[in-house]
Chains A and B, each alone.
Chain A
Amino acid sequence: MKRGWNLPIWIGTLVIVVAAVTFVPLVERAPDLATPPWITLAAFAAGLALIAVGIARAFRDPARHRGKVFGPILGVLGLAMTGLFVFGTFYFVRQIPSSPDAPKVGDRAPEFTLADQGGHQVSLADLLGGRDGGHGHGAVLIFYRGYW
């Protein structure tokens, strides 16, 4: 009897790969999500479930379904991708110090003088006073990690 290719394993793997590659464009369209889009998480879960179904078939009825070898291999790969994704999106992105000593609303902003990208010294007073002695109305200071 001819053995089938055990499609659930392959489809499950494909679903996980698609979930991973569509994640970036999805997030770019809808940024500021504290957790990843539910559809991506659902796709990872569905992919793993399909692979599990396929592996179960391969072991229960190996005469009809292939996959006793490639099933577990793809299963481990799928689990690893899912684990990496969950680690990255739930844990890694939250590794930011809590900064309890940062100035609060109503506090006086600490004074500073720093070089701009042209090497010119710029102070907070310069920024607040407005460019070229004009009348400024304040400044937004954006601290960022940088590119070293």
Chain B
Amino acid sequence: MRRFQKQLDDFERRGVRVVGISVDPPEVSREHAGKQGYTFTLLSDPDAEVIRRYGVLHEGAAPGGGDIARPAEFLVDAGGVVRWVNLTESYAVRARPSQALEAIDAIPGQAVR
């Protein structure tokens, strides 16, 4: 997410919101965002309900055995259609913002300016 923060301007210029979603309660997200300098929105899904809906649950992966999200990125266009999905197979290989930006620019009618 640090990389997306660094390139946040590129997303804002395209009118695309960047949001993080995890099981963290809002207080933890607030503290985390402050520490990391994240200025984009972090959403709280404490029961992993939305995480489950998106099929990206990692069962029992929290230290206490709770369910959390596995790393995953989705680009959703203005009409609510998924345009790009990144499901990494390794924690060592993470999404690059450039991949998402390319996918945004490939959406027909999206090439504004």
Which A residues lie at the B interface, using CB under 8 A? Answer: 27, 31-34, 89, 93-94, 96-112, 114-119, 122, 124-125, 127-128, 130-131, 134-148
Contacts and interface: CB of A to CB of B under 8 A. Distances in A.
24 contacts: A31-B94, A32-B93, A101-B55, A102-B56, A105-B84, A108-B80, A115-B26, A115-B44, A116-B29, A116-B41, A117-B27, A117-B41, A117-B44, A137-B112, A138-B15, A140-B17, A141-B54, A141-B75, A143-B54, A143-B71, A144-B21, A144-B71, A147-B28, A148-B62
Contact of A141 (B26, B28, B76, B96): B76
Interface in B75-107: 75-85, 87-96, 100, 104, 107
Contact of A34 (B18, B64, B90): B90
A105 to B, nearest CB: 6
A39 to B, nearest CB: 16
Interface in B8-24: 11, 14-24
Highest count of chain B CB atoms <10 Å: which of A33, A89, A100, A147 = A147
A55 B91 CA distance: 37
A137 B110 contact: yes
Contacts of B33: 117
A31 B91 CA distance: 11
Interface residues on B, range: 35 or more
Contact of B55 (A102, A108, A112): A102
B51 A143 contact: yes
A144 B69 contact: yes
Contacts of A122: 19, 41, 43
Contacts of B69: 143-146
B76 A148 contact: no
Contacts of A127: 17, 19, 41, 76
B16 A110 contact: no
A136 to B, nearest CB: 5
A124 B22 CA distance: 15
Contacts of A115: 26, 43-44
A18 B59 CA distance: 36
A15 B11 CA distance: 44
